[in-house]
Amino acid sequence: MTASELPARGTLRGLVLAIAALATLALGACSTVKYGALERVGIHKRDVLVSNVKGARKAQKEAQEEFQDALDRYLEVVEAEDSDLKRAYKRLNKEYEDARDAASDVSSEIDDVENVAKALFREWQKEIGEYSDASLRRDSENKLRDTQARADSMIASMREAEASMQPVLRTLRDNVLYLKHNLNAHAVGSLRSKFSELEGDIGNLVEQMRQSIARSDAFIAEMRNADG
């Protein structure tokens, strides 16, 4: 291909941006279709939001367990005899992979919560303009503001818990790789020196998850009370 046949850089960049925009619109359209189908069978966005919050809560609880298991396995490695190092590495690598997958599940569940929350509040705001009664409109506006504030606070807590998993995953990944290539006492010594740091990071993770789960519990209860 000659230089003249190559697409201009600006044209190529514009094409990439256009494709990205179309992908975003497609995802939004899929969500709209999904929510519309659910509403036709009596499942409204607020019901989907509560269900998704429950899903995120469950994923966080499972992640807590997976990361604690990884810490326990890490301790086994630093206490292992030289003859057991290969077996210890395989078990630690498995725990790392499980923790990584659990973290991915948490992120996906939080995305689902955030997406349906945005759709719910966008629809709610639009429908407020349809009121003819000023008193009812003000009441709906107040409820929207309060519900959105609680949802935003809950999602922020979820994102903080999500972020707390990353330093743990990095430490686990680095040490699993190091152990893979150095199955000897020197490698174990290196891992042992990182144990306290890892233990502290996992302790922080568990606490962030606990706070996020508590926020989720409170939000679910508030939504149920509002429906009652």
Query: What would the pLDDT profile of 1-48 be if each residue is shown by its tens digit?
Result: 444 444 444 554 455 444 544 444 444 555 666 666 656 655 789 999
Residues 27 and 82 in one domain: no
The structural domain count of the chain equals: 2
Residues 37 and 125 in one domain: no
Q: How far apart, in whole angstroms, are the C-alpha atoms of residue 179 and residue 21?
A: 43
The answer as to whether 176 is a domain residue is: yes
Q: How far apart, in whole angstroms, are the C-alpha atoms of residue 40 and residue 154?
A: 28
Output the pLDDT for position 9.
45
Output the pLDDT for position 172.
94
pLDDT tops 50 at residue 219: yes
User: What's the pLDDT tens digit per position in 61-113?
Assistant: 999 999 999 999 998 888 876 667 888 889 999 999 999 999 999 999 999 99
Instruction: pLDDT band for 187, please (50, 70, 90 cuts).
Output: confident
The answer as to whether 5 is a domain residue is: no
Specify burial of residue 137 (Cβ count, 10 A radius: 0-12, 13-18, 19+). middle
- φ, ψ of residue 2 to 5 degrees: the values are -85, 165
Residues 23 and 111 in one domain: no
pLDDT tops 90 at residue 189: no
The answer as to whether 59 is a domain residue is: yes
Query: For the chain, what percent of residues have pLDDT higher than 90?
Result: 63
Residues 28 and 90 in one domain: no
Residue 31 belongs to what domain range?
10-42
Residues 23 and 84 in one domain: no
